[in-house]
Each structure stands twice: as structure tokens, then as C-alpha cells.
Amino acid sequence: MEAHHTLLVVDDDMDIRDALQDALELEGYAVQLAADGLEALERLRSSEPRPQLILLDLMMPRMDGIAFREALRHERACSDIPVVVASADLDVRDTVDGMGVAGYLRKPLDLSALLSTVKQLCLPV
């Protein structure tokens, strides 16, 4: 089995969070969950293991993905964590342009594309 990686899934849809957690854990990843950007920042600031990758929804209450990404840039300890945006937005490519993200995926998510992207972006521990 490959090295143990931790991912942070940020999505306000509990069903999506649960499905991603199940799929990623089956592939050997540890998964942290957050329902919005504020919860994600709280997790990143806590003593939990630092994730190697963040999967980020854009449309969320309290703090959306765009505001979270901007806030993350100012978090010294976490600003270098790669972020992959997952969005149902038809213009996701234009939306993420300038956000400084490692990539994006269209919802509904294709599991093989998701796993391939995660594997590519998770650096050896």
C-alpha cells in the first residue's frame, strides 16, 4: 500500500462529503470533512494532521470556495496545500482562473478522474 495521505473535503452537501469520504478511504486516504470554508479554516488551524490536498466546492453558505481560497492564501502554515475545485458551474474553468488552484473537476464527479487527480497531486509523505 502506498504512503498514507490526508485529504480535506470541503462541501456543504453531506451526501457528497460522505460519498467522497467512502471512495477516498477505500483507496487508502485519510479524509477530513468540512461543510464550508469557515469550518475548513478551523480544521486547518487545529492540531489535526495537515492535509496534502484540499477538494473544494465553490457554492457553500457562510464562506464559499472563492472566499476560502483567498483566506487560505494568508494562512502561512497552509497556503502551499494544493487545492482542487469541484463545481457544477458550467463556467468552472473561467471561475477558477486566477484562484491559484492546482486543478478543477466538474460535478457530478467522475470517480476515476477524481482519483487520478488526487494521486497526481498528493506528494510522497
Q: Give tens-digit pLDDT for 55-102.
A: 999 999 999 999 999 999 999 889 999 999 999 888 888 888 888 999
Using N-to-C axis directions, what is the helix angle for 111-121 and 14-26, rounded to 10°?
60
pTM: 0.92
Q: Residue 94 and residue 27: Cα distance in Å, rounded?
A: 31
Q: Domains, the chain, ranges and CATH?
A: 6-120 (3.40.50.2300)
User: Is the distance from CB of 34 to CB of 9 less than 8 angstroms?
Assistant: yes
Q: Roughly how many angstroms between the first and final C-alpha of the chain, as a whole number?
A: 13
Cell readout for 36 is 464550508
Share above pLDDT 90 across residues of the chain, in percent, rounded to a whole number? 76
Question: Phi, psi (5° rounding) for residue 94?
Answer: -70, -40
